[in-house]
Structure 1
């Protein structure tokens, strides 16, 4: 039996799950995170990498797997613009999607006059051409925006950690609750990550093919930032962080994490 799985083109995902593309157990597709969020809303995918905020809205249908999570430790989506600002009440701000954790975090800490939702790779250009005043960026752009003459106003991951004293849950791998092979699926994800960590050079061309940034040094930095101990297996601190975010969204289910054996 083959399971449909969607991952993002982010280097941390294409690195960690490179081996799944040769695993007959999975039919893998690569799409931007907001598209994956929307497909999960429609229950089109058996397994998907989605925003942690989106997961909070889908607890009846999906369960989080303990492998593949992306948590930021003092870092997260950044609010950037041409000039520094401390308030956005009279500004237009761009986001990579309505259902992203980045959008949820902005609303948790700030307000703005107008919002624009667009593909994440269009945000910096919209700031530069004046279509929007500011943007909330994710993915590898966090390492390169200053090369475009843009400045950071806030790191939402730092604000989150200052308030809750926990790392920031950004996204995770979810699976439909009714799948019969959750243990086998989780083990395959774990083994794919272990393969990538042992053979990083074999993943590089594939990762660069799908990454916005083509500089191997930037891609490596992104992977080192977001492929952490919590990606391999959620730590107790990581579990507390996700529980905290779910509570902040107003949607919480005690049975949100798959806890079967897989190692």
Structure 2
């Protein structure tokens, strides 16, 4: 009997939607997964420590996890890229990027794609740069902005749909800036797997993920119990919008445009000394 693969991803609707068919044995011939749920900040750390076989991580974490032998390979499917789905900078009062100079901004992680996009945006648009950056759990950021504990907050995921409930205002959309500057989709979350699994296993794993995505698209109603079980505090309509935004053609296949987006993000971030340089060969699959 084939040993299970240790797999970690978040309980967010887009991840449970993508992995549902694989987790529940509806992908014929697939190696069974042994799932750990963890926020992406934790999966980034797990990948850096080389703890599991397959993980959903931030594209921003790739420079610390890609490599040869026992390091990880970027899979060409299963992740999150897209258009119109970037992180937002929120404030209590309407404002402009110029007004953010020297201010305190809360972010969900300094090892996240959202943070890289924010820093690249700030370098282009905030005179003198922002002031202090503080890291808060993503569900604490909007209350912190609302209560005046920070001047602005960088938010991700379903906060795109709910920030108005906190009386907040969108100062800027990191995705709009990225798309305007590069013309490319926004790279957010990646799927990586151990290179030590071997080329054949990695190719098979990519096929499993594609089949799981296609199964979810073909019969989305079968995914709803799994999605809702792990998004209990989220309004079902918000969960559906979340899935529609983050699961798309790039989830099925990165393709040339997806790889260009990833390469551009890592190169621009390395130029700003936000991440170590990544050799082009490190993105090769398998």
- TM-score scaled to structure 1, two decimals? 0.92
Number of matched residues?
260
| Alpha-carbon distance between aligned partners in 2 of 1:254 and 1:192, rounded to the nearest angstrom | 28
Matched, 1:91 2:103: yes
| Alpha-carbon distance between aligned partners in 1 of 2:178 and 2:261, rounded to the nearest angstrom | 10
| Alpha-carbon distance between aligned partners in 2 of 1:190 and 1:47, rounded to the nearest angstrom | 15
The CA deviation at 1:100 is 0.4
Aligned counterparts, 1:46-85, within 5 A: 46-60=53-67, 61-85=71-95
Q: Residue 31 of structure 1: which of 28, 31, 38 is its match?
A: 38
Matched, 1:168 2:186: yes
Given that 2:82 and 2:250 are in contact with CA atoms closer than 8 Å, whether structure 1 keeps it comes out as no
| Alpha-carbon distance between aligned partners in 1 of 2:284 and 2:119, rounded to the nearest angstrom | 29
Indicate the residue corresponding to 1:100 in structure 2: 112
Note closer, same or farther for the CA distance 1:174–1:197 as it changes in structure 2 (3 Å cut).
same
| Alpha-carbon distance between aligned partners in 1 of 2:225 and 2:162, rounded to the nearest angstrom | 20
User: 5+ residue gaps in structure 2?
Assistant: 26-30, 123-128, 271-276
Indicate the residue corresponding to 1:114 in structure 2: 132
Detail structure 1 runs of 4+ shifted over 6 Å in the superposition: none
Which whole-Å deviations, capped at 9, do the CAs of 1:92-113 have from their partners, x for residues lacking one? 1111111001111111121321
Matched, 1:182 2:202: yes
| Alpha-carbon distance between aligned partners in 2 of 1:258 and 1:20, rounded to the nearest angstrom | 24
- TM-score scaled to structure 2, two decimals? 0.85
The CA deviation at 1:35 is 0.9
The higher radius of gyration belongs to 2
The CA deviation at 1:15 is 0.5
Aligned counterparts, 1:1-263, within 5 A: 1-23=3-25, 25-60=32-67, 61-85=71-95, 86-87=97-98, 88-110=100-122, 111-180=129-198, 181-211=201-231, 214-250=234-270, 251-257=277-283, 259=285
Note closer, same or farther for the CA distance 1:212–1:98 as it changes in structure 2 (3 Å cut).
farther
Which whole-Å deviations, capped at 9, do the CAs of 1:196-215 have from their partners, x for residues lacking one? 11221121132123237522
| Alpha-carbon distance between aligned partners in 2 of 1:90 and 1:141, rounded to the nearest angstrom | 24
Aligned CA-pair RMSD: 1.7
The CA deviation at 1:138 is 0.6
| Alpha-carbon distance between aligned partners in 1 of 2:210 and 2:175, rounded to the nearest angstrom | 26
* 205-214 or 129-138, which deviates more: 205-214
The structure where helix makes up a greater share of residues is 2
Which whole-Å deviations, capped at 9, do the CAs of 1:49-76 have from their partners, x for residues lacking one? 1111111332222211011121131430
Given that 1:20 and 1:28 are in contact with CA atoms closer than 8 Å, whether structure 2 keeps it comes out as no
Given that 2:55 and 2:193 are in contact with CA atoms closer than 8 Å, whether structure 1 keeps it comes out as yes
| Alpha-carbon distance between aligned partners in 1 of 2:150 and 2:226, rounded to the nearest angstrom | 33
Which whole-Å deviations, capped at 9, do the CAs of 1:106-148 have from their partners, x for residues lacking one? 1112132111112211111111222212111111111111122
